[in-house]
């Protein structure tokens, strides 16, 4: 009789430990696998996977790997994606728990436009670490009893996560700086709000790095306005030290890197999250918000109030004029959020309007007045000067002082009425009918950029100055004592 031999059956406990070891090994090596396998530790709904999730996870891991090795970063990372694409869950919730599986002493600063938003993200991050699944896979990563608050916690190896609102003080230096939505969508078009967030990122948050060559800054946000933190970070970066990922909800030429266009399905980034019906609803709420938040192109569809593609740039500037005027739109705070602008506009003999010069700066009142006098002397007394009189007695006194300083020039003081959009409307008619020209110069790009975003541009001073100069050149002259 033949006896059949069977291998001893593995115990149930052995099978469980094998599965845990496998999970720990796989997820430690791949942030994307970590996100998939630990999703349910912080999100109740099942993961709806899409190609962009793996792509973002891989990009974040690429940045992190150099920090793990103490190598100088190749670049900081900017990610522009629409709301509702799991960006905060990936970046602000799950990234640090994964980092600690490889570098438990790592410190991360998380920043958002509000303290309570960071508190929520920090709490969700902490829930991943405290979950039974995470503790089974990575039992060495335990939170310290000494520091275990919602917005600030640390582990027994000294690794920490500090959540702060934009403008706050981090209190320590970090290996990773994660800025997740630094601008409140309801306040993004505030000049002061945008300028404040940019200043804080440039001058405060940028100093909170353990090693300035190694520490990585990651900005992830939906675009909201011209000059927002994305534009600011690109402008202030060393050339080649930024990787900019832009994933609009619909397929447009804003997709970056361009090769990612091949992943869009029926022209959509994520057909399951950003469905056609959802996009239609979003579009109905306004062109500006849709273009900014969904398309990552913060200007109204159709070009906004000013159709800047109809403005012609030319080197062939007329030499004879029906009239010329330089209008000053004032700001009185040096290095503040707003700009003083002196814009020179001419009307030629064919009735076309030319923008001939734009002087723009953040000057205090004394420097501003000095520059007005210098520029008036350079322009000559044939060019009339327009001054904006701001409300109140202080505005009247300031205008009177400017008039006295410019004695000998034709000076007209204007008290603006109506809002900025109303005042800009007559000038926009000329722009949109192709009757406005620009003298080719270095300021052209900034000028056209502001017009293309108006009325949702971060700054509106060049539009205000254009409206004022246009009014001077088109306003009927008053008849006094039988003379014009």
Q: Which CATH architecture has domain 14-298?
A: 3-Layer(aba) Sandwich (3.40)
Q: Cα(411)–Cα(133) distance, rounded to whole angstroms? A: 75
Q: Assess whether the region 14-298 and the region 308-474 belong to the same CATH fold.
A: no
Q: Where are the beta strands (DSSP E) in 28-114?
A: 76-80, 107-112
Does CATH place domain 308-474 in 3.30.365.10?
Answer: no
Between 49-53, 80-84, 132-136, 187-191, the lowest mean confidence (pLDDT) is in 187-191
Q: Cα(353)–Cα(344) distance, rounded to whole angstroms? A: 11
Residue 9 reports pLDDT greater than 80: no
Those residues whose C-beta lies under 8 Å from the C-beta of residue 28, and which sit 6 or more positions away, are 34, 98, 101, 102
pLDDT for the residue 337:
60
Q: Cα(79)–Cα(66) distance, rounded to whole angstroms? A: 19
Mean pLDDT over residues 15-23, rounded?
80
Q: What is the dihedral of CA 150, 151, 155, 161, to 10 degrees?
A: 150
Domain assignments of the chain as residue spans, ordered by start: 14-298, 308-474
Q: Cα(216)–Cα(75) distance, rounded to whole angstroms? A: 8
Q: Cα(31)–Cα(89) distance, rounded to whole angstroms? A: 13
Mean pLDDT over residues 110-125, rounded?
92
Q: Cα(400)–Cα(396) distance, rounded to whole angstroms? A: 6
pLDDT in tens, 120-155: 999 999 999 999 999 999 999 999 988 767 788 999
Q: Considering just the CA atoms, what is the radius of gyration of the chain in Å?
A: 29
Confidence of residue 481 (pLDDT cuts 50, 70, 90): very low
Q: Cα(420)–Cα(416) distance, rounded to whole angstroms? A: 9
pLDDT for the residue 282:
84
Bridge-partner residues for 344, per DSSP? 326, 357
Residue 473 reports pLDDT greater than 90: yes
Higher pLDDT, 147 or 357: 357
pLDDT in tens, 446-457: 999 889 888 877
pLDDT for the residue 334:
55
pLDDT for the residue 6:
42
pLDDT for the residue 484:
31
Strands 312-314 and 152-155: unpaired
pLDDT in tens, 152-210: 899 999 999 999 998 887 678 999 999 999 988 766 556 678 888 999 999 999 999 99
Please provide the average confidence, as pLDDT, over all residues in the chain: 88
- Phi/psi at 256 (nearest 5 deg)? -145, 130
């Amino acid at each position: 009789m033949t006896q059949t031999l069977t291998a001893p059956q593995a115990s149930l406990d052995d099978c469980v430990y094998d599965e845990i070891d496998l999970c720990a090994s796989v997820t430690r090596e791949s942030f994307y696998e970590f996100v998939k396998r630990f999703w349910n530790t912080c999100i109740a709904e099942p993961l709806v996977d899409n190609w962009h999730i793996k792509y973002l996870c891989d990009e974040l891991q690429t940045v992190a790997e150099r920090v793990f090795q103490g190598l100088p970063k190749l670049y900081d990372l900017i990610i522009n994606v629409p709301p509702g694409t799991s960006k905060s869950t990936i970046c602000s919730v799950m990234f640090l728990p994964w980092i600690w599986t490889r570098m438990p002493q790592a410190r991360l600063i998380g920043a958002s436009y509000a303290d309570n938003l960071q508190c929520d993200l920090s709490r969700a991050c902490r829930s991943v670490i405290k979950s039974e699944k995470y503790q089974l896979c990575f039992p060495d990563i335990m939170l310290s009893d000494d520091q275990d608050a919602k917005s600030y916690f640390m582990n027994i190896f000294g690794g920490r996560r500090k959540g702060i609102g934009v403008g706050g003080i981090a209190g320590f230096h970090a290996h990773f700086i994660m800025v997740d939505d630094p601008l409140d969508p309801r306040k993004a078009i505030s000049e002061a709000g945008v300028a404040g967030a940019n200043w804080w990122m440039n001058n405060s948050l940028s100093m909170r790095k353990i090693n300035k060559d190694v520490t990585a800054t990651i900005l992830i946000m939906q675009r909201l306005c011209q000059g927002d933190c994305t534009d600011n970070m690109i402008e202030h970066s060393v050339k080649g030290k930024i990787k900019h990922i832009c994933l609009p909800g619909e397929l447009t030429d804003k997709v970056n890197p361009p090769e990612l266009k091949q992943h869009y399905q029926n022209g959509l980034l994520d057909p399951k999250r950003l469905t056609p019906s959802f996009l239609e609803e979003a579009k109905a709420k306004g062109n500006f918000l849709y273009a900014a938040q969904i398309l990552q192109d913060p200007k109204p569809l159709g070009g906004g109030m000013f159709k800047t593609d109809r403005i012609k740039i030319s080197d062939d500037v007329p030499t004879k004029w029906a009239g010329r005027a330089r209008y000053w739109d004032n700001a009185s705070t040096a290095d503040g959020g707003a700009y003083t602008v002196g814009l020179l506009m001419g009307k030629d003999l064919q009735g076309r309007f030319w923008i001939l010069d734009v002087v723009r700066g953040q000057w205090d009142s004394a420097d501003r007045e000095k520059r007005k006098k210098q520029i008036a002397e350079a322009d000559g007394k044939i060019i009339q000067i327009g001054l904006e009189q701001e409300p109140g007695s202080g505005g009247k006194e300031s205008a009177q002082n400017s008039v006295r300083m410019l004695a000998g020039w034709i000076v007209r003081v204007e008290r603006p009425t109506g809002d900025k959009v109303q005042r800009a409307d007559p000038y926009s008619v000329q722009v949109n009918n192709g009757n406005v020209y620009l003298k080719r110069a270095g300021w052209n790009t900034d000028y056209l950029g502001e017009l293309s975003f108006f009325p949702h541009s971060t700054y509106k001073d060049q539009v205000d100055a254009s409206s004022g100069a246009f009014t001077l050149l088109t306003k009927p002259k008053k008849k006094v004592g039988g003379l014009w």
